[in-house]
Structure 1
């Protein structure tokens, strides 16, 4: 007898295996032509992704719930199926009978795990008999290499609050080209973005086909707002892909050049420019080996970084990354900042930002930049909806996932606006 949702659950377990056991990036696995989602209808693809992402956000709690019932670790497929089942019961409120049967079915269909369906059945029945399995468990912790410096910076209470937000499915934020059309369930955020609490099919929303808005985390939208591009200005968006900030700058009336080293990543920008009717010159090249024909009024640099501020949207990252590449990223950021300054006219301004929680890629990077360029001036943000405590002593803007926690939080970012002397 077929189990309802078997295809989506099977794909979700395969996605978990690719991330947890093979170290693959979630976004690459879901886009693979021969990946776990190949051949599934859109609704099943969406369900598989949701199940896998929710499970990744609760691996630690699921493993703690399962531990008393497992004398030794089962094969990867069995473990991931059990984790998926626990999360369905504890987070999604799945019907116990259906979830237990689904996990047993997943295990029984594995080439080397069929003999373990009895174990799966026994374990899942015990979990199903436990009321609110996650009720007394803390949120999933960030890896120690990331958690430790954040605790040192902000204290355990703040870090725990960040982790609580990272354990939730994030809302959907939209940035409008002009006037945002009415969308059921949408709320206006203090900084001007629009938020939808529930996941939905983006292309079916009012205003998508007519290019009235684009998807962009509210925190990310603040970088372009901080730059304050004006009509008629020439603006360079460095490391531009996938292009949300380019769209903001073009919508402000600036003449925009969007540069990124990755030509394939720029395709998303081309699609969004076409949909929104906005324009920008697109250049695929390495910024460190490029020289513009003329200097710019302003530059926005969203530099490559550890992406540690985006764990709420990308819960696979703690399982596939460590801190080994951070020194190289910090060095690259410094190079890009120095290069970006050479692209500016006298009196021009640069906004530097990273979607990182780590001080090395934010506050410390700003301090090092000012040490190298003592004539630069930091212009503290004075933007709609920004809380005073978000502004650092040096004039940078530190955004954390626990801000707006009651409505879904925001991505972690650091950004600062620097001005050259006239």
Structure 2
């Protein structure tokens, strides 16, 4: 039988969703299912279908359940294919006849008639998705009073944020790239721009970095101190946005990460931007520095639920077990890191997580257990429109700055080791 055009992209999307929802892997890990497709357009379509299903999963399931006498099992292939069919019609504006032609072959030997009937019933009814995706109840409970705003922020993929090597060129580069700027050194462009084709890429004038992700390094200020260049450790550094930021701010940077493959990317970005840093591939729980640092930035391994705008699978694959595991890793890394600070040195802890256990609760633990004193963040330290918490921490989420395109979710706190002679 002749292969239906476009069916390969749908088959790849089905495999990706199975890897994410059944095996608990990330969409990036699952993306290999699309690598064998013949064109960039097919690969992009497979990822778009999978991404939209994951963003709207709760609402797609509600529609499917409204049109079946008996509820389909959660892991039924027919349910997954119907999710994809509805996502294409309701989010990607694919004509219904094209959806049917490319989706039903995925159910060869299975309940094609059921899937076709449910899809036809729903499209005939003119069903729509809500304005804002529904979150799984447990996730909404974890995210509390901000849950609805966060959900509104993950309706679609985010815009493209760039960080400039030379912040004083912000206005000039914004005009050159037809971009907006939300802070010195920041540019925001519409999603879909080809990164390598943008002005300044070859010259190394910028790198990709969400505005919220740029805050932790910003809180350390300039690298030049009264006694010359200061030393900073960027712990868990890859893929390197904060390393580049610190190097461009004049710090003598040591960038450490356990992932050798991701460190290759960091070194490539250093070479492209003409910035320098000492790079170390090592386990932070075993490595020992030769001398202490004036500052340490730990952007700790975490559940990454704050990246749900670009990685919607975290809404479905992260639960209490994953959060608890990350909390233990984070505390182990914090315990080691604070030992490597000079007296008077500054420690910044950050996670791209929306979970209280990884953010606010860790900050309270640092206050009580780590021998550091809080160094509260003020409004002048962070981009306009973002306010520190009453404790002097920073908490961002995808529902913030909605008119400007939102933010990734981060928790950030800052502390100082007491200077010598001070308790």
- State TM-score, norm by structure 1: 0.89
Alignment deviations for residues 321-365 of structure 1 (CA, whole Å, 9 cap, x no partner): 321133342233223223222222221111111111122211221
Deviates more, 1:118-127 or 1:305-314: 118-127
Find out whether 1:245 has 2:242 as its counterpart.
yes
- 1:106 aligns to what? 106
- 1:78 aligns to what? 78
Contact 2:306 2:408 in 1 (8 A): yes
- The CA deviation at 1:280 is 1.0
Distance 2:65 2:393 in 1: 44
- The CA deviation at 1:92 is 2.0
Q: How many residues align?
A: 406
- 1:23 aligns to what? 24
Contact 1:298 1:344 in 2 (8 A): yes
Distance 2:24 2:357 in 1: 25
- The CA deviation at 1:374 is 5.1
SS at match of 1:259: strand
Contact 2:165 2:185 in 1 (8 A): no
Distance 2:176 2:90 in 1: 31
Distance 1:200 1:214 in 2: 14
Distance 1:2 1:235 in 2: 57
Unaligned runs of 5+ in 2: none
- 2:117 aligns to what? 122
- 1:90 aligns to what? 90
- 1:225 aligns to what? 218
Contact 1:235 1:257 in 2 (8 A): yes
Distance 1:76 1:37 in 2: 25
- 2:182 aligns to what? 189
Find out whether 1:212 has 2:209 as its counterpart.
no
Alignment deviations for residues 31-78 of structure 1 (CA, whole Å, 9 cap, x no partner): x4xx34324322221221122111110111111111132334277433
Distance 1:174 1:349 in 2: 26
Match of residue 338, structure 1, among 335, 339, 347: 335
Distance 2:283 2:240 in 1: 16
State the 4+ residue runs in structure 1 displaced beyond 3 angstroms: 1-4, 74-77, 179-185
- 1:139 aligns to what? 133
- The CA deviation at 1:79 is 2.1
Contact 2:213 2:410 in 1 (8 A): yes
Contact 1:349 1:420 in 2 (8 A): yes
- The CA deviation at 1:281 is 0.8
Distance 1:328 1:69 in 2: 39
SS at match of 2:418: coil
- 1:38 aligns to what? 36
- 1:67 aligns to what? 65
Map of 1:234-383 to 2, 5 A cutoff? Answer: 234-373=231-370, 376-381=373-378, 382-383=380-381
- 1:149 aligns to what? 142
Contact 2:55 2:155 in 1 (8 A): yes
- 2:50 aligns to what? 52
Contact 2:135 2:315 in 1 (8 A): no
Q: 1:77 to 1:314 in 2, by over 3 A?
A: same
Contact 1:127 1:133 in 2 (8 A): no
Deviates more, 1:87-96 or 1:393-402: 87-96
Distance 1:292 1:392 in 2: 33
Contact 2:150 2:398 in 1 (8 A): yes
- 1:199 aligns to what? 192
Root-mean-square deviation (Å): 2.3
SS at match of 2:163: strand
Find out whether 1:7 has 2:5 as its counterpart.
no
Contact 1:298 1:348 in 2 (8 A): yes
Unaligned runs of 5+ in 1: none
Distance 1:37 1:140 in 2: 31
Alignment deviations for residues 205-234 of structure 1 (CA, whole Å, 9 cap, x no partner): 222222221111111111111121324221
Distance 1:225 1:243 in 2: 14
Contact 1:377 1:419 in 2 (8 A): yes
Q: 1:39 to 1:88 in 2, by over 3 A?
A: closer
